[in-house]
């Protein structure tokens, strides 16, 4: 199972490494630089609203379906027809929720138009997510990997033509960006539907109320978990734009979005772990296999590189932000927000390992309790800090919230699964953390004295961190390559 996990992880990371950085930093970033922080900030806030309310489209059905199809693949035919009925009904519910939210938040005119278009895109994205849950549940990980980037690949082509292809004479408009998303998501949704349909023996759309009710009862904890997660990760942009209001609110949301984009790029790669780990953990737990080795592998493969990247990025924040954006005005805002926000990547990455394990084991009650606490803490911090520090306050609120959630998840997992972590391992980890930070500061000072370009300094810092983790045996390269051998490591 470990070998299968690692091989599919390599393929998943490869296809995402080829597409998503181009999408985020080639297309999405260019759109923000082209339309300006105000227009993009409004788009960012509206997108977050539709994303948060997307829970009304899914109600946790995709995660529930992924876990159950992984454990009982024969259920796909039975579930697929009935869940399609539920999803169709939920589209109507989502439309009503969006209208109520728009009225409550006071959006009108052009803002309503963008909100409506983004709502359509979320409907399409939710459909893709459900179809992918069937594909992943059937252990077709490579096909799922392709669908994880297909819409982004199409967006690169469409937006690339609009931005640089001289196919239009007018300046690029933010609504064009949304239209391109609609076209890309539509194609991906149709193709995913056709593939899943081919994997089912038959499809009969009929109203089976007892089954529908049973699915909703089992999926609602997943829905609550998703809702709580997106609130404490996405509410910041909405609160910045609404609390500050007008041009200032839109601009501050745009400034926040500049750093959030980089954090999102990082978390998308850690999210790839979750998409593979959920069905694998579910299957291993059902078969009563030892999950400690694959949990340890996930930790070493994800958290150590995350620490190295975060420390290096915060150290060279000025060079990174100046390279990516046309920064004018209060430049320190961009740098401070990024320095704070990037360190949220570490607890978020940890959550994609431990949170996924708890989900696979059915411990959603613990996750939801932690999530409720995270939402309350995040909203209170945002209300207090945004008024005083604007977007910087939202970044600080995010950091405090994510580390609080991480600590609680660690406590719950270690109490439930009784993982044994030797004191020596903890000591070595702390030595690595402190040692790497000290070395990074010393290197930065030396590089500044000799006038070394920040890109070279960043690269050297990452290499030094990787070598230090290998020397301290935190990141065991040999054990990673062993996973490519035919023998199973978890066999007796």
pLDDT tens digits for range 119-177: 999 999 988 988 887 787 676 777 878 888 899 999 999 999 999 988 888 889 999 99
* Shared-domain flag, residues 150 and 46: yes
Checking if the pLDDT of 491 tops 60, the result is no
Angle at 115 (CA atoms; ends 110, 116), nearest 5 degrees: 100
Same domain (yes/no): 218, 326: yes
Q: Which of 420, 446, 468 is the last residue of a domain?
A: 420
Range of the domain at 359: 2-420
Q: How many CB atoms lie within 10 A of CB 278?
A: 23
| Buried/exposed code over 138-156 (b: 16+ C-beta within 10 A; e: otherwise) | bbbbebbbbbbbbbbbbbb
Same domain, 415 and 428: no
Alpha carbon distance 310, 343 (integer Å): 6
pTM of the model: 0.78
Q: Which residue has the higher pLDDT, 289 or 13?
A: 289
Last residue of a domain, one of 356, 390, 420: 420
Domain match, 212 and 351 both: yes
Residues 462 and 415 occupy one common structural domain = no
Instruction: Out of 8-12, 33-37, 88-92, 374-378, give the one with best mean pLDDT.
Output: 374-378
Query: What single-letter DSSP state applies at residue 420?
Result: -
In this structure, the answer to whether residues 462 and 401 fall within a common structural domain is no
Residues 316, 463 within the same domain: no
Same domain, 219 and 251: yes
Give the domain-ending residue among 361, 386, 420. 420
pLDDT of residue 407: 93
Q: What confidence score (pLDDT) does residue 124 get?
A: 95
Same domain for 282 and 219: yes
Q: Scanning the structure block, which residue is given the tokens 């007796």?
A: 492
Residues 430 and 395 in one domain: no
Q: How many domains does the chain have?
A: 2
How large a percentage of the chain has pLDDT more than 70?
A: 85
Residues 41, 164, single domain; the answer is yes
Based on the fold, state whether residues 410 and 437 are members of the same structural domain: no
Say which residues have a Cβ less than 8 Å from residue 27's Cβ, sequence separation at least 6.
155, 156, 159, 160, 163
Quote the tokens at residue 385.
């800090």
Taking alpha carbons only, the member of 489, 4, 3, 17 closest to residue 272 is 17
Among candidate residues 188, 194, 204, the one with its CA nearest the CA of residue 79: 204
């Amino acid at each position: 199972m470990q070998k299968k996990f690692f091989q599919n992880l390599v393929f998943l990371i490869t296809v995402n490494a080829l597409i998503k950085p181009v999408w985020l930093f080639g297309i999405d970033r260019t759109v923000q630089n082209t339309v300006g922080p105000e227009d993009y900030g409004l788009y960012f806030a509206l997108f977050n609203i539709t994303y948060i309310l997307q829970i009304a489209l899914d109600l946790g059905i995709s995660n529930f379906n992924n876990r159950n199809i992984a454990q009982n693949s024969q259920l796909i035919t039975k579930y697929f027809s009935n869940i399609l009925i539920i999803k169709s009904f939920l589209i109507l519910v989502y439309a009503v929720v969006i209208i109520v939210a728009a009225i409550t938040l006071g959006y009108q005119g052009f803002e309503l138009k963008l909100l409506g278009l983004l709502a359509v895109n979320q409907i399409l994205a939710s459909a893709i997510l459900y179809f992918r849950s069937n594909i992943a549940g059937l252990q077709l990980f490579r096909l799922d990997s392709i669908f994880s980037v297909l819409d982004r690949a199409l967006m690169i082509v469409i937006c690339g033509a609009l931005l640089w292809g001289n196919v239009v004479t007018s300046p690029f408009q933010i609504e064009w960006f949304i239209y391109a998303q609609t076209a890309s998501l539509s194609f991906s949704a149709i193709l995913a539907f056709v593939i899943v349909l081919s994997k089912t023996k038959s499809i009969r759309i009929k109203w089976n109320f007892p089954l529908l009710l049973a699915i909703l009862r089992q999926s609602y904890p997943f829905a609550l978990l998703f809702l709580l997660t997106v609130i404490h990760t996405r509410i910041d942009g909405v609160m910045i734009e609404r609390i500050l209001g007008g041009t200032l609110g839109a601009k501050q949301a745009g400034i926040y979005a500049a750093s959030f984009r980089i954090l999102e790029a990082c978390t998308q790669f850690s999210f790839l772990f979750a998409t593979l780990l959920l069905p694998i953990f579910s299957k291993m737990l059902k078969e009563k296999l030892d999950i400690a080795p694959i949990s340890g592998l996930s930790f070493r493969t994800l958290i150590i590189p995350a620490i190295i990247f975060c420390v290096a990025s915060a150290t060279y924040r000025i060079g990174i932000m100046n390279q990516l954006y046309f920064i004018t005005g209060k430049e320190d805002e961009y740098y401070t927000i990024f320095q704070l926000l990037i360190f949220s990547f570490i607890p978020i990455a940890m959550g994609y390992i431990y949170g996924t394990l708890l989900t696979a084991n059915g411990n959603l009650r613990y996750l939801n309790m932690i999530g409720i606490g995270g939402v309350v803490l995040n909203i209170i911090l945002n209300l207090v800090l945004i008024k005083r520090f604007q977007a910087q306050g939202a970044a600080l609120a995010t950091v405090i919230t994510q580390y609080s959630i991480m600590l609680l998840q660690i406590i719950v997992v270690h109490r439930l699964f009784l993982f044994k972590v030797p004191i020596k391992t903890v000591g070595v980890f702390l030595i690595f953390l402190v040692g790497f930070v000290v070395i990074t500061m010393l290197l930065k000072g030396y590089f500044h004295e000799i006038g070394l370009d920040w890109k070279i300094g960043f690269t050297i810092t990452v290499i030094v961190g990787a070598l230090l983790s290998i020397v301290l045996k935190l990141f065991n390269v040999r054990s990673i390559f062993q996973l490519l051998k035919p023998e199973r490591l978890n066999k007796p």
